[in-house]
């Protein structure tokens, strides 16, 4: 399964696009649409590179969701979990889905709203959007 246009727009909306490296609230160097791999302080990129990073990152996170989430999820659930994993990482996806059914997974998304132990308004909004997409009928 691939992330739909709705899923990509959700990720873009919450990640934003910054063409120079910055530290995210979790203290990780980030650039483009939340890209973190190999990012260094002072780095700058073009919009074209940011779009390329997004496409590459989506492929990686789609694979993680495909191999770790329940096999019977629908497109909206897949998109929500790709957005979640894009933001929280594979370890948190594994924790989210472990020993939970689909309904429990959707509800538990809301619990992942902290960075460095502090609840962040932006993460509360993102998790709510992912939760709502997860439970939106296809």
Q: How many helices (H) and strands (E) are present in the chain, helices listed first?
A: 6, 4
Distance CA 130, CA 51 (A): 22
Choice among 15, 62, 88, 130 that is catalytic: 15
Residue 15 is among the residues annotated as catalytic for this protein: yes
- How many residues are recorded in the chain? 138
Q: Note whether 55 and 80 are within 8 A (CB).
A: no
62 noted as active-site residue: no
Which tokens in the block code for residue 58? 């989506």
Query: Rounded to the nearest 10 degrees, how much is the dihedral formed by the CA atoms of 51, 52, 57, 59?
Result: 110
N- to C-terminal Cα distance for the chain?
A: 14
Q: Within a 10 A sphere around the Cβ of 48, how many other Cβ atoms?
A: 8
Task: Pick the catalytic residue from 17, 24, 59, 104.
Answer: 24
Catalytic (active-site) positions: 15, 24
């Amino acid at each position: 399964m691939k992330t739909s246009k709705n899923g990509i727009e959700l990720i873009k909306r919450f990640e934003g696009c910054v063409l120079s490296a910055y530290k995210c609230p979790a203290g990780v160097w980030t650039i483009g649409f939340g890209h973190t791999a190999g990012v260094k302080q002072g780095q700058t990129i073009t919009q074209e590179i940011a779009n390329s990073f997004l496409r590459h990152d989506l492929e990686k996170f789609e694979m993680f969701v495909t191999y770790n989430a329940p096999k019977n999820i629908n497109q909206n659930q897949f998109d929500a979990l790709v957005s979640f994993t894009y933001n929280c990482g594979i370890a948190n996806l594994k924790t989210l889905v472990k020993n939970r059914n689909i309904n429990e997974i959707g509800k538990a998304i809301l619990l992942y709203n902290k960075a460095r132990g502090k609840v962040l308004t932006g993460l509360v909004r993102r998790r709510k959007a992912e939760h709502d997409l997860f439970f939106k009928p296809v």
